[in-house]
């Protein structure tokens, strides 16, 4: 989060300088909005490549194509064809490459065959130290029942997924929950006694916390991951 704050601070300072310089006639005849959008979208694409986030990198490329469709000679494809292609490619690539042993933002996840996957409306109990829950194009509710929660990987695509952690226990000093939310909503119910370190990130979405975390537990739960074009709602209960 600290790195992102530094980036955004530098980003807005550079943008202010570009706006001022553009009024002096020093820059080429390109609109200020196009320059600002290009800088942001290039950063977004690089960040998507770095974290292997197909939604981030492909939509950044799509918006760049829309901005520069005339020089590229692709006006017949913009905007809807390019956006539709970015959406379909993002879905396909994310489904293909969201498999086992995937390393995301510094956490290594290795999974066995257990875990819950859902399409449609479903409620399931999830047990074990390492838990994986996926939901695609539907609504799902997952109840985490664990005597020793260590890691959890939660992925929601084009749907709504609700996760309850109130029946989970952290035996060690730390536990990790990785959340990947794309074009949908992921809702987390977390015991207010847990000491939660929220390191979630968002791109064209939001992360909201509800209730008050007391944090009396000695164990620390790290929330990592991101939401793209969707919301992550955290409730302390």
Q: Can you spell out the DSSP letters for the chain?
A: -HHHHHHHHHHHHHHHHHHHHHHTT-S-S--HHHHHHHHHHHHHHHHHHHTT-HHHHHHHHHHHHHHTHHHHT-GGGTTHHHHHHHHHHHHHHHHHS--TT-EETTEE----S--EEESSEEEEEEESSEEEEEEESSEEEEEEEESS--EEEEEEESSEEEEEEEEE---SSEEEEEEEEESSEEEEEE-TTSEEEE--EEESSEEEEES-----SSSEEEEEEEEESSEEEEEE-
Residue 160, pLDDT score: 93
Q: Please write the tens of the pLDDT for every residue from 77-109.
A: 888 999 899 988 988 887 777 654 444 444 555
Domain layout of the chain by residue ranges: 2-96, 103-236
pLDDT tens digits along 46-78: 777 877 778 888 888 998 898 888 888 888 988
| 236, pLDDT greater than 90 | yes
Q: Which segment, 23-27, 77-81, 207-211, is predicted with the most confidence on average?
A: 207-211
pLDDT tens for 152-206 read 999 998 889 999 999 999 998 999 999 999 889 999 999 999 999 999 988 778 9
Which pLDDT score is estimated for 27?
54
Q: Confidence band (pLDDT; 50, 70, 90) for 37?
A: confident
The pLDDT, as a whole number, for residue 102 is 45
pLDDT at 220: 93
């Amino acid at each position: 989060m600290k790195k992102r704050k530094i980036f955004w601070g530098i980003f807005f300072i550079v943008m202010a300088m570009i706006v001022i310089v553009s009024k002096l006639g020093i820059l080429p005849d390109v609109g200020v909005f196009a320059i600002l959008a290009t800088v942001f979208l290039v950063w977004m694409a690089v960040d998507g490549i770095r974290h292997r986030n197909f939604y981030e990198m492909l939509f950044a490329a799509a918006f760049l194509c829309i901005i520069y469709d005339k020089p590229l000679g692709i006006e017949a494809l913009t905007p809807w064809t390019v956006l539709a292609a970015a959406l379909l490619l993002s879905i396909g690539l994310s489904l293909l490459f969201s498999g086992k042993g995937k390393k995301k933002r510094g956490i290594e996840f290795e999974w066995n065959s257990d875990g819950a996957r859902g399409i449609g409306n479903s409620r399931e109990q999830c047990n074990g130290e390492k838990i994986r829950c996926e939901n695609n194009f539907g609504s799902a509710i997952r109840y985490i029942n664990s005597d020793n929660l260590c890691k959890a990987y939660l992925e929601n695509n084009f749907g709504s997924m609700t996760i309850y952690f109130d029946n989970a226990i952290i035996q060690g000093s730390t536990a990790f929950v990785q959340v990947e939310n794309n074009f949908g909503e992921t809702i987390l119910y977390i015991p207010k006694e847990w000491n939660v370190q929220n390191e979630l990130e968002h791109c064209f979405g939001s992360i909201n916390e509800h209730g008050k975390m007391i944090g009396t537990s000695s164990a620390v739960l790290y929330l990592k991951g991101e939401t793209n074009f969707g919301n992550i709602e955290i409730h302390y209960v």
